[in-house]
Every structure is written in C-alpha cells, then in structure tokens.
Amino acid sequence: MSRAQISGLVFGVGGFGALVAATASNEWKVTTRASSVITATWVYQGLWMNCAGNALGSFHCRPHFTIFKVEGYIQACRGLMIAAVSLGFFGTIFALFGMKCTKVGGSEKAKAKIACLAGIVFILSGLCSMTGCSLYANKITTEFFDPYFVEQKYELGAALFIGWAGASLCIIGGVIFCFSISDNNKTPRMGYTYNGPTSVMSSRTKYQDREGDLKPTNPSKQFDKNAYV
C-alpha cells in the first residue's frame, strides 16, 4: 500500500542520512586525558582523520595521509561504510521509481518488482553498516578490556551509535518495502460470469417479451359494443 511505502521511504532515507553522517564523522572512538578541567584534552579518531582538542578551544585534525599504513580493520570499515552509503543511495532511487504514488516506473507489476529491489538494497545497506560499526566497536572494546594492552585506550564514539541507528532504519525500511509486495497480490480482482452463447431466436423472444411487458394496456377497449349484445 502507498502509506506503507511512504513510511518505508522515510525510514530508508533517514537511515541513509545517518549512514552518511556516521561515515564522515571523526568520533568513532574518543578518549579524555584530564588532570583538571583547565588542562583537559580530548582525542577523537575516525575513519579518515584524527582530531585533538583542549578546554581552551584549540582543535586540530590530521588526516590519514597514506592507505597502506592504516590498520586493516579501519580499511575494512571504510569499505563497508562506503558500500552502505552507495547501496542506500541506489535504494532511495529505486524506491522513488517503485512507489505507487509516483508516475514513473512503468506498470503496476514493474513497480512492484522495483519496490522489492529497493527493499533488498536497503537491507543490504543496513547490514553493511551494522557489520562495519560492530567490527570497529569490537576492536575498541577488546583493547579497552585487555590488561596487557599498554597503549592509549579509547571508548565508543557517537559515530558508532549513529551508524547503528542508521543501519536499523535502513533494515526496517527495506522490510516494509518487501512486505508491500504481498499487499499487491492480495487485492481482489473483478470476476465476470459467462452464461453461454445466446441464439438469435431466444434473444428476439426476450426482446418481444420485454416489449410486451412495457406496452401499456388501454382499459377503454375492454368495454366495446359486443359487451352489451
């Protein structure tokens, strides 16, 4: 139904926007070094650059200048998030063409197929984002709770929660689009009854009978001269 598809499009587009924001964000993992409020220092790390700031308002970011020196899990998360954003974009385009309330996309049958394809693409986009964010979060938590890890420990950043929320919205929107196809198959079709062929004589007899029923009777003719003889 069109209302279900509109709600699915809202979920999908909202999830796609959240995935874009999470991919571009630098707060995938954060840490705080503070002996006092004045000397507090915040460190943010994302998929593309590392940032640091302090309580005095100074903020500086340094991008990852090389690809081969970046750790493997970061490269994997990059690929998964780029795939999620790309799939979310194409899922939005397919959803616009497959909705009933739009005038593009062809016939109803073709629109149903396009809407189902949009739902599958949205679900794949959500799964890619969910995998990438979970992989990154697993690395952070493993290092944080490892007693033998002596380097700087980080905590989960806001971008991970935004990515998880966007993935959930994309999956919900995709499921709604896929189930909207079942509503099209349940719509009743108008049936016609076939009474068999009708001969010319029977049709003519029916027509004459109908004319006889519609022909008015004149009551004055019932009382003619022979009635008094």
Q: What is the full DSSP assignment across 98-131?
A: H-TTSS-SSSHHHHHHHHHHHHHHHHHHHHHHHH
Q: How confident is the model at residue 229 (pLDDT cuts 50, 70, 90)?
A: very low
Q: Rounded distance, CA 115 to CA 41, Å?
A: 49
Tell me the per-residue pLDDT of 27-78, one tens digit each, with 9 for 90 and over: 999 886 655 555 567 888 889 988 888 777 777 888 877 777 888 889 999 9
Output DSSP code: residue 216: P
128-148 pLDDT per residue, tens: 999 999 999 999 999 888 888
Per-residue pLDDT band for 214 (boundaries 50, 70, 90) equals very low
Average pLDDT over residues 84-88: 96
pTM of the predicted model over 0.85: no
